[in-house]
Chain A
Amino acid sequence: DTGVSQDPRHKITKRGQNVTFRCDPISEHNRLYWYRQTLGQGPEFLTYFQNEAQLEKSRLLSDRFSAERPKGSFSTLEIQRTEQGDSAMYLCASSLDEGTGGRGTEAFFGQGTRLTVV
């Protein structure tokens, strides 16, 4: 089990450019989450998938943000026309449908992609 993997770890981009991040969840996990975290704050929910279906998007997520999870495996998060306010750590997490006794309910996080928009 290699854990949740995110790529790239760091991204510096100029304002107005598009960026795409990738997340590879733990292989058997069917739920995948994207969060945004700014310095000193808690993770802020962006969106999540169950298998390939995107089940929920935050109302805070502008239409410049789009996420996909083709075939229910890896996921990509794209930000179009980046703004300085998009600078943050983007976290991916995955989890497994719980079995009996509440097992498997925790989310496992990747190391994140730190985006800096200059």
Chain B
Amino acid sequence: AQTVTQSQPEMSVQEAETVTLSCTYDTSESDYYLFWYKQPPSRQMILVIRQEAYKQQNATENRFSVNFQKAAKSFSLKISDSQLGDAAMYFCAYRSGSWTSGTYKYIFGTGTRLKVLA
């Protein structure tokens, strides 16, 4: 079974600085998707960034980028020029990409709480 591990329960970053959130996963599949979701306090979860496993190029979305290391099964999120609005819980998630796996459920890690210091 696939698992997702986030080993940093909490991280802090100064406003305008850069922070990296870690995520590792375990799978025997070669076709899958990885996601970072953001959940602000008392608000709904929204997608930050997505990575397709078959793509070697790391995904970027404005100030957000990932470091996808397929062999190491590592998927970290880098937030540049951190802003107060980035403060939230961040969840790493995995989803199989192959119908042969028999499931399209999303598997989440336990999350990292990011604090942004003014």
Contact = CB atoms under 8 A, between A and B. Distances in A.
Contact of B95 (A40, A44, A50, A105): A105
Size category, B interface: 20 to 34
Question: Which of A33, A95, A109 gathers most chain B CB within 10 Å?
Answer: A109
A25 interface: no
A93 B39 CA distance: 14
A40 B112 CA distance: 9
B52 A102 contact: yes
Contact of B43 (A48, A50, A91, A111): A111
A41 B95 contact: no
Contacts of A107: 47, 95, 106
Contacts of B95: 105, 107
Interface in A55-99: 55-56, 91, 93, 95, 98
Shortest beta-carbon contacts, A-B, top 3 = A42-B108, A109-B45, A102-B52
15 contacts: A33-B105, A35-B108, A40-B111, A42-B108, A45-B105, A48-B104, A55-B103, A55-B104, A93-B106, A102-B55, A105-B50, A106-B33, A106-B47, A109-B45, A110-B44
